[in-house]
Chain A
Amino acid sequence: MEYFYTVVILMALYVILAASFNFVIGYGGLVSIAHPVFYAIGAYASALLARDMGVPVILAILAGGLIALLASVALALSSLRVSGDYLLIGSIGFQLGTLEVIKNLHWTGGAGGLSNIPSFLTQTLGPQAYVAFAVAVAMCTVLLLRWIAHGPYGRAMSAMRDDELAFAALGRNAMVMKITIFALGSGLAGLAGGIYAHYFRFIAPGQFDLLQSSALLTMVVVGGLRSTWGPIVGAIALEALPQAITFINLPPSVLGPLQGILFTSLVLIFMFVRPQGLIAASARWRGRQEEAR
């Protein structure tokens, strides 16, 4: 039963991560792979606030999201000024650099990881309560992002992706919009980080590396860019798949690369064979198909 709870919580967290990542790269058209690092920042910030400063866990989780949001604004402000390409380069550098910092500082637990993170709900109300909490946050995230994407803001995001110059010439502020999208998406990832930290009570920099980036990219691309349910299906399917592989009892030195190969080749196959993903985006403001550009 414990195992089942763990899997459901992980799925809920991946739903938050994939949905918010889809918001950033799909709806916002912002190419970044640093989503896991905002997840990491949220996790570390929340864990340290609760463990070392005695902040109540629920506030620590919210603060973790906020700190991830602020970090993402700093990254977006510095790299988006020039062009979208610099965001991807900046995001890779930011991800690897931040993980490098976490590895080298002693108060983050270094490469060995941070343990003894205070738990939340599990001890008082039982693990079921935490499952409900994670699932509720995941559902709220999906509904919130869907509401934004289908309203007037979604229309504007679509226009911005289509033609940024014409968009700006009509008086719309594309830069503010991009930063808002990036900040919201990254803040949600930070929130997920806090939820992760206080359930598993141990985090290490290795959990947020490029493998995690590939996994999220796979969930979104395989599930379907810019569709509400695609990334959710992607998240659940791709969370279940590696779980299934773990049953085969492979040594970790084989398992890690194998998962990496699985994720990256799935992205490649879907990019070339079925760019719309498993679930194609609904007709409303779908955006041009990639091939049509």
Chain B
Amino acid sequence: MTEVQLLQTIGMSVIGVGGAILLFVKARFVRVMAFVAMVLGAFSLVALSVPQMASMPPAVEKIDVASIKEKKELAAIGQKIFFSKGQCALCHTIGSSEGRCPDLKGVGSKLTREFIYESLTQPQAYVYMDYEHEGRAKFFPAKMPHINKKPIGLNNNEILAVIAFLQSMSGEEVTINLSELATPSSASSEGRKAL
């Protein structure tokens, strides 16, 4: 029995017992408390009937630089970060106009890697109303957070991996060289200069 099934059983039992009390017990206080229990049981059942999503802390995925042999592996790591720790997909879409922020379809071919890096780390440095958007300029309600600062806090390697993913999914050649990734020993001295 799963946790949800167990809780559903408890909820239904509470409603059943409450109903029985209302039917057979005359003491008013007990009846009122049974009524309260039934309401709470019903509330729990409704809450159990909606999609059950827990919010897990982001997995601590350390990029093992030594194990990356090809650029497409870097792009695959970037894709993982895009949809998990980076939380990019909470606002951005890829190929749909329903997002809170610009659609990123083809962004890797429209923008240079330097510009993407700047957009991630200094989002207010240069703001398009909507890049290459046809028709009237579009406003977006959400502002881009500094992706290299808390609470998201991607490190330089992770940012480079995301850029590799954006280039790769746009059909572009990935311009991030594997040698640019900071190894543990060089981590402190790497950074922007990698660009």
Q: Do A and B bind each other?
A: no
Using a CB–CB distance below 8 Å, which chain B residues touch chain A?
A: none
